């Protein structure tokens, strides 16, 4: 992987960790904590779509000029700063920082992925550490290690952002025009982007539904063995590993083949997920489709990458709402996970047939 993708991925873990620490260690303990959770999730997920549109406009402007600062890089850096400020002020600021970092980091990674011919591997690496960051941040809040986590994260984030800015400037000085063309960002006209987007409306709608399902199942499914710190760590490791593996598998064997095999096996594993190894396998396999759907829609909208990224994260917010309003069924991981896997497979298969 490239240096920028590695830096974005580490920052992803740290940013999500700071957000989890602030929410579970501070804001949720307040009297209006229930409402503040909704505010945070709206800002962190729903706002990524309008922020992505703004970033696309800036990328297009840079592409026409052929020079200038990297909008994705500076969006990610600004997101890191806002996240840090939000941890000390308000969940709305915290959520906006999270959203800005994810859009900037996602667009930056997909550009480097395209330039390197990785076919989605870089995007899978970028999305994977978020779950681990959320878990570690939550543990830090639970066991009173919040100050140490916040201080360590702040120092490391500052070092990474400084290194990325220096590296970004060196690349801009050497090959701004060539990098923009290789990344497929900001090189086409808005009219071309619109035509491309119209051609992928059905695919985008299906990907939206699949991500809503993934978010809903992730919140609704419970496992009898997930009772302590170590089993929780294993579950998060399976989720993160599945996301990373999905990008590599799709690049090697194709997106639809990867989705079909992983979701079919996930449906079977969910039926026996009360057993620890099979439950972990279900989580691993089910999450392999995350980079697949994300890369699929991004490749369909090469001049609207920020919008595409934000569009699918808005789906995560929609999947969060049933749990927030107490509409989740009282079900274990067996039936609900199996149904979610099968429905996701059918939706992606339909989209693939329609696209073909």
Any idea where the domains of the chain sit in the sequence? 1-187, 192-356
- Rounded to an integer, the average pLDDT of 213-230 is 90
Mean pLDDT of the chain: 88
How far apart (Å, rounded) are the C-alpha atoms in residues 12 and 26? 21
Asked if residue 195 lies in contact with residue 278, where contact means CB atoms within 8 angstroms, the answer is no
User: Between residues 294 and 176, which one has the greater pLDDT?
Assistant: 294
* SS3 category, 228: coil
pLDDT > 60? residue 203: yes
CB proximity list for 312: less than 8 A, separation 6 or greater: 207, 208, 211, 293, 294, 297
Asked if residue 323 lies in contact with residue 336, where contact means CB atoms within 8 angstroms, the answer is no
How far apart (Å, rounded) are the C-alpha atoms in residues 216 and 195? 32
Asked if residue 319 lies in contact with residue 213, where contact means CB atoms within 8 angstroms, the answer is yes
Q: Which residue has the tokens 């990474």?
A: 160
Instruction: Retrieve residue 140's tokens.
Output: 């830090």
> Which pLDDT score, from 0 to 100, does residue 332 have?
60
> Which pLDDT score, from 0 to 100, does residue 306 have?
92
- Rounded to an integer, the average pLDDT of 106-112 is 91
Share of the chain above pLDDT 70, in %: 89
Angle (nearest 5°) at CA 312 between 254 and 287: 50
pLDDT > 80? residue 331: no
How far apart (Å, rounded) are the C-alpha atoms in residues 245 and 281? 12
How far apart (Å, rounded) are the C-alpha atoms in residues 301 and 64? 18
Conformation bin of residue 189: beta by default, left when phi > 0, alpha when psi is -120 to 50: beta
Q: CA torsion, points 113, 117, 120, 121, in degrees to nearest 10? A: -90
- Encode pLDDT of 114-134 as tens digits: 888 888 899 999 999 999 999
- Encode pLDDT of 31-75 as tens digits: 999 999 999 999 999 999 999 999 999 988 887 776 778 899 999
> Which pLDDT score, from 0 to 100, does residue 180 have?
44
Most confident of 139-153, 229-243, 340-354: 229-243
pLDDT > 50? residue 190: no
- Rounded to an integer, the average pLDDT of 146-175 is 87
> Which pLDDT score, from 0 to 100, does residue 356 have?
58
Confidence of residue 197 (pLDDT cuts 50, 70, 90): very low
> Which pLDDT score, from 0 to 100, does residue 191 have?
39
How far apart (Å, rounded) are the C-alpha atoms in residues 204 and 295? 11
Tell me which residue of 19, 15, 50 sits closest to 37, measured CA to CA: 19
How far apart (Å, rounded) are the C-alpha atoms in residues 137 and 126? 18
pLDDT > 80? residue 193: no
- For residue 252, the tally of other CB atoms under 10 A from its CB is 11
How far apart (Å, rounded) are the C-alpha atoms in residues 281 and 306? 32
> Which pLDDT score, from 0 to 100, does residue 333 have?
67
How far apart (Å, rounded) are the C-alpha atoms in residues 67 and 81? 25
How far apart (Å, rounded) are the C-alpha atoms in residues 201 and 204? 5
How far apart (Å, rounded) are the C-alpha atoms in residues 20 and 40? 11
Range of lowest pLDDT (77-81, 169-173, 341-345): 169-173
Radius of gyration of the chain (CA): 19
Question: Which CATH number fits the domain 192-356, given the four candidates 1.20.1250.20, 1.10.150.120, 2.40.240.10, 3.40.50.300?
Answer: 1.20.1250.20
- Rounded to an integer, the average pLDDT of 250-257 is 92
Asked if residue 240 lies in contact with residue 131, where contact means CB atoms within 8 angstroms, the answer is yes
Share of the chain above pLDDT 90, in %: 65
Q: Distance from first CA to last CA of the chain, Å, rounded?
A: 31
Query: What are the φ/ψ torsions at residue 71 (nearest 5 degrees)?
Result: -60, -40
> Which pLDDT score, from 0 to 100, does residue 114 have?
87
* SS3 category, 331: coil
- Encode pLDDT of 265-314 as tens digits: 999 999 999 999 999 999 999 999 999 898 888 877 888 899 989 999 99
């Amino acid at each position: 992987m490239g240096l920028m993708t590695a830096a974005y991925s580490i920052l992803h873990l740290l940013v999500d960790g700071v957000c989890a620490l602030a929410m579970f260690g501070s804001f949720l303990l307040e009297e209006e904590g229930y409402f503040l959770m909704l505010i945070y999730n709206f800002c962190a997920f729903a706002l990524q779509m309008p922020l992505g549109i703004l970033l696309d406009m800036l990328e297009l402007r840079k592409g026409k000029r052929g020079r200038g600062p990297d909008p994705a890089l500076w969006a990610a850096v600004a997101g890191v700063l806002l996240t840090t400020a939000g941890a000390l002020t308000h969940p709305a600021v915290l959520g906006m920082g999270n959203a800005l970092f994810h859009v900037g980091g996602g667009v930056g990674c997909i550009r480097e992925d395209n330039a390197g011919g990785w076919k989605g591997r870089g995007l899978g690496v970028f999305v994977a550490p978020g779950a681990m960051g959320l878990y570690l941040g939550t543990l830090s809040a639970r066991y009173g290690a919040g100050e140490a986590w916040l201080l360590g994260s702040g120092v490391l984030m500052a070092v990474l952002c400084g290194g990325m800015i220096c590296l970004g400037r060196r690349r801009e000085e050497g090959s701004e025009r060539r990098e923009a063309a290789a990344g497929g960002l900001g090189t086409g006209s808005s009219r071309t982007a619109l035509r491309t987007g119209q051609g992928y409306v059905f695919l985008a709608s299906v990907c939206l539904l699949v991500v809503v399902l993934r978010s809903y199942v992730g919140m609704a499914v419970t496992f009898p063995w997930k009772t302590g710190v170590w089993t929780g760590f294993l579950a998060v490791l399976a989720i993160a590993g599945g996301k990373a593996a999905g990008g590599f598998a799709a690049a090697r064997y194709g997106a639809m083949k990867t989705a079909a095999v992983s979701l079919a096996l996930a449906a079977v594993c969910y039926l026996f997920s009360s057993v620890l190894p099979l439950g972990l396998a279900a989580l691993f396999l089910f999450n392999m489709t995350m980079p697949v759907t994300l890369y699929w829609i991004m490749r369909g909208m090469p001049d609207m990458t920020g919008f595409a990224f934000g569009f699918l994260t808005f789906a995560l917010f929609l999947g969060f709402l049933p749990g927030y309003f107490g509409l989740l069924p009282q079900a274990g991981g067996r039936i609900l996970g199996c149904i979610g896997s099968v429905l996701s497979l059918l939706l992606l298969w339909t989209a693939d047939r329609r696209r073909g």
